[in-house]
Amino acid sequence: MRQLIAAITADTFLGRASHPNQERADYAPRPLVDALSAAGLLSIILPYNEKADAKDYVSSFDGLVIPGGPNMSPKFYGEEPLWCIGATYEKRDKFEVELIKAAMAAEKPIFGICRGLQVINVALGGSLWQDMQVQCPSITIQHMQKTPVTLATHSIEIEPGSRLHSILGNSCRVNSFHKEGVKKLGEGLAVTARSADGCIEAFESKDNDLITAVQWHPENMAADRKDMAALFAHFAERMERYARRRIVRQ
């Protein structure tokens, strides 16, 4: 079989550019591309396209990665932005929600990372805390860590029997760069990991192998940690399984 292609939805650079080509540049994090490559996958980057139908992109990839990025606009789960929410960018939100639905309809596996977990949750009818520290008194752990992203800072407990448990075991330590968190869980999802203060740190789809998502950034630890690299190998393995199934059907 040909090498499988993982599509990464692009973040748009909205900061001050040091070169004209960087202005509003669409990009993917290099550690993510490297982690997918180490798992044997090719990567393509998908910039949002306001005129495109997300369905038209689906034939160009075997699996979809929704990576980290800014906060999701609360309009997608029916709330107004609270004073404490971070920067939002609705164009990317809308494109990613449409892509997630199109990828699910085409049975292409999805891997959500940090913001990606949150967008998948909202695409499936769930909602988010806009700022857990402000809205949830029970959240006491530092989920927006001050320590570099390559280092783990808090522990997670993993649900026995989940696919995540078969990869990571009962518990492990993860990095953490999120203000937002899952409030209402989306339809068809099962929680697979929580931090000690109860924050949802991972989920997967209940009735199929299409969705896994984690609230931390495994791509930034995968160079040094085999367990984090194994998450990408697991994604590659799911992509291959669904790709073979499509070949059989043809």
Tokens of 121: 């949750």
Whole-angstrom distance, CA of residue 158 vs CA of residue 118: 18
SS3 for 165?
helix
Tokens of 77: 């789960």
Catalytic residues: 114, 217, 219
Nearer to Mn ion, 7 or 200 (CB): 200
Nearer to Mn ion, 213 or 239 (CB): 213
What is the helix (H) or strand (E) element at residue 133, kind and residue range? helix 132-135
CB of 93 to Mn ion, least distance (A): 21
Within positions 175 to 204, which residues make up the interface with Mn ion, using CB under 5 A?
Answer: 176
CA torsion sign, 17 to 10 to 69 to 96?
positive
Nearer to Mn ion, 84 or 144 (CB): 144
Residue 217 in the binding site for Mn ion (CB under 5 A): no
Residue 143 in the binding site for Mn ion (CB under 5 A): yes
CB of 129 to Mn ion, least distance (A): 12
Beta-carbon-side half-sphere exposure of residue 154 (alpha carbons within 13 Å): 25
Tokens of 33: 């591309």
CB of 87 to Mn ion, least distance (A): 19
Nearer to Mn ion, 115 or 143 (CB): 143
| Closest chain position to Mn ion (CB) | 176
Query: Which residues here bind Mn ion, judged by CB under 5 A?
Result: 143, 176
